[in-house]
A and B are shown apart, each in its own frame.
Chain A
Amino acid sequence: MALDLLFFWILAGLILAAAWAVVNGNDIVHSVVWLSTVFLLTAGIFILAEAEFLAVIQVLVYVGAISVVIIFGIMLTKRTLKGGEDV
């Protein structure tokens, strides 16, 4: 039981740190990668709550599909390569 609590607080701290990195990053692609980290760690919280199937679906849907769609949206919009050249 005490070990569960320890893992919960570790996960909670990591989720909060990753969420802070999402809103505080300079680059929007970094933010999306941190956002997918938040989704992945949330699956860890679900496993601790003994909702294993929910955790699997969380990874499958949020990390596997939604983050990728967001990254797609960002990457398909206009940007310049670092160094100034237009893509």
Chain B
Amino acid sequence: MSLFSFCRWMAEWTANYMLIPVFDFQKNLFPPFSHPAGTIADWLGTDGGLDTLAWTFAVNIAFAIGMTNLILVIHLERKIAARIQDRRGPMLSFRSFRELGEDLAGEAPSWRFKDNYSGIGILQNMADGIKAITKELIVPAKADKFLFTMGPIIFISSSVFLLVLFPLSDRFAASSAPAGLMVIMAAFSIAPIGVLTSGWASNNKYSMIGGMRSAAQLMSYEIPLLLSMAGVFLLAGSFDPVTIVEQQQEGTWLFGLPMWNFIPQFLGFIVFMICILAEVERVPFDLPEAEAELVEGWTTEYSGIRYMLFLAAEYIRGFAGAAVCTILFLGGWAGPWPIPPEIWFLSKVYLILIFWIFIRWTVPRIRTDQILELGWKKLLPLSLINILIVIFMVEIYPYFSDIVNLPEVF
């Protein structure tokens, strides 16, 4: 059963037992308003209405899964960072919430902090969220008010949009656009406008420099990123994630292992990993928000929930970037049988994310002049060489192997 058919079933149930009776009741209760209520009930009975409702459910489910993963990724980052720095990370959030509740109820704390230091820290994100929501949203006096509020909206909405675009498996997809991966890249490419406008509107030199760096980085790394993706598109002959993953299962390698794209296109894989790190602005490519030199760059003037949503949007972009990398190069949701494909997909995504977290806490940031040199002089030629290799594999080798009877390698 696919996600959409499940949602369709849920939509039929909701329409028949919850929505249409309400509209009918309303129609009987207020005869003057009977006409619009009647048309909505009629529309919900048709295929179009049910499909619309079903897509709404599917998008909401994908969004909820993405947000849950966001919380887990942030927690993972905190814990692994703490372990690398020989700390323990957030440990006591459950007990802190309990103590808060007991405090509000006027009771004495039922446990002693000094007695036992063990605990679970996964609610730390909730505590941070509550803190961010209750803080004041400061707008600087001389900032450009309109763009100062528009910038976060552009950045965060284009990032959250990413969550519903990639499929978790061939049956679990909230979006079935045939140009699926190009839609993801288009959503990725909207963000620089939000970054630039919020950096400019803060009316602050450092925010402005951070915004400029960010846009320069995002734009110059988008070119090798798309070129390294082009190799995969050429091999699969499609932009559709499902087709790309199926194509990767066809060829075999040593011991009958499936030849996922990172084996024949190793160059493209390396270029893609570096470029997607720059695209989601993680260390070592976090120049735009270099906290040591630019005081958090283009997010300096933001406070409260806006700043927290900026951070959340960056993790969402990281999650989506890792998902795209899994689909393109790591065989997507393919894996041995007993584990469901969605779990395979998520475990591959988490593998990449953990790799990125290790990079973040062990590797220093690169310099501004190095970043453009790396992008234009190293990654761009490498991605072009990757495309040449793929063209040789797809077009030239089969042509000659037909004529002179070469062994079938690719």
Contact = CB atoms under 8 A, between A and B. Distances in A.
Interface of A: 3, 27, 29-30, 33, 36, 40, 52-53, 56-57, 59-60, 63-65, 67-69, 71-72, 75-76, 81-83, 87
B185 A60 contact: yes
16 contacts: A53-B179, A53-B182, A56-B179, A56-B183, A57-B182, A63-B186, A63-B189, A63-B190, A64-B222, A68-B192, A68-B193, A68-B196, A71-B196, A75-B196, A75-B212, A83-B142
A65 B189 contact: yes
A36 B193 contact: yes
B320 to A, nearest CB: 15
B311 to A, nearest CB: 23
B84 interface: no
Interface stretch (B16-24, B144-152, B321-329): B144-152
B175 to A, nearest CB: 11
Contact of B186 (A33, A60, A81, A87): A60
Nearest to A52: B179
Contacts of A72: 196, 212, 215-216
B205 interface: yes
Contacts of B182: 53, 56-57, 60
B193 A63 contact: yes
B339 to A, nearest CB: 33
Query: Counting chain B CB atoms within 10 Å of each CB, which of A56, A57, A59, A76 scores highest?
Result: A56
Contacts of B142: 81-83
Contacts of A63: 186, 189-190, 193
Given A30-B147, A75-B208, A75-B212, A64 B186 contact: yes
A15 to B, nearest CB: 17
A63 B157 CA distance: 15
- List of 4 A-B pairs having minimum Cβ-Cβ separation, nearest first: A64-B189, A59-B186, A60-B186, A56-B182
Contacts of A75: 196, 200, 208, 211-212
A33 B205 CA distance: 20
B197 interface: yes
Given A60-B185, A65-B189, A82-B203, A27 B144 contact: yes
Contacts of B179: 52-53, 56
B190 A82 contact: no
A75 B207 CA distance: 13
A68 B215 contact: yes
Contact of B190 (A27, A29, A64, A71): A64
A59 B186 CA distance: 6
Contacts of A65: 189, 219, 222
Contacts of A81: 142, 203, 205
B150 A33 contact: yes
B366 interface: no
A69 B183 CA distance: 21
B238 to A, nearest CB: 12
A70 B201 CA distance: 16
Nearest to B218: A68
Contacts of B270: none
A36 to B, nearest CB: 6
A60 B218 CA distance: 13
A65 B221 CA distance: 12
B139 interface: no
A27 B203 CA distance: 14
Contacts of B133: none
B129 interface: no
B205 A67 contact: no
B193 A71 contact: yes
A67 B186 CA distance: 13
Contacts of B237: none
B381 interface: no
Interface string B205-239: 10010011001101100100000000000000000
